[in-house]
Amino acid sequence: MQYVLWPALERFLPDYPDIRVELTTDYGLTDIVQARYDAGVRCGGLIAKDMVAVSISPDIRMSVVGALAYFANHQARRI
C-alpha cells in the first residue's frame, strides 16, 4: 500500500501542513464512518455502494505465480 499511498500523500501534504496523517492497516472491511476515520483506502472492488470513491493510482494488475511442479498437480483457476 505504501507504493500507492505515499506518492499521493507526498503531493498533498506540502499544501496542507496543518493536517496530521495517521495510518492504520488491517485486512478487514472496517466501517470507516463508525470507526471515526476521515478517509480510507481499499482496492476498487471492495468499495461499499454508499461510499464516495476517488482513484489514487492507476489500475494494479495481479498475478498468480507458482512452480511448474505445483501446477502439474493442481489446476490453475481463471477468475
Cα 27 to Cα 25: distance, rounded to the nearest angstrom: 7
Task: Name which of 34, 63, 62 is nearest 48 in CA terms.
Answer: 34
Enumerate the domain spans of the chain: 1-79
Tens digit of each residue's pLDDT (9 = 90 or more) over 2-37: 567 888 888 889 999 999 888 888 777 888 888 888
Q: Which residues of 31-50 are buried (b: 16+ CB within 10 A; e: fewer)?
A: ebeeeeeeebeeeeeeeeee
- Residue pLDDT, tens place only, 47-74: 777 777 777 777 777 787 889 898 888 8
pLDDT confidence bin for 1, thresholds 50/70/90: low
Grouping H, G, I as helix, E, B as strand and the rest as coil, residue 16 is coil
The answer on pLDDT for 38 being more than 60 is yes
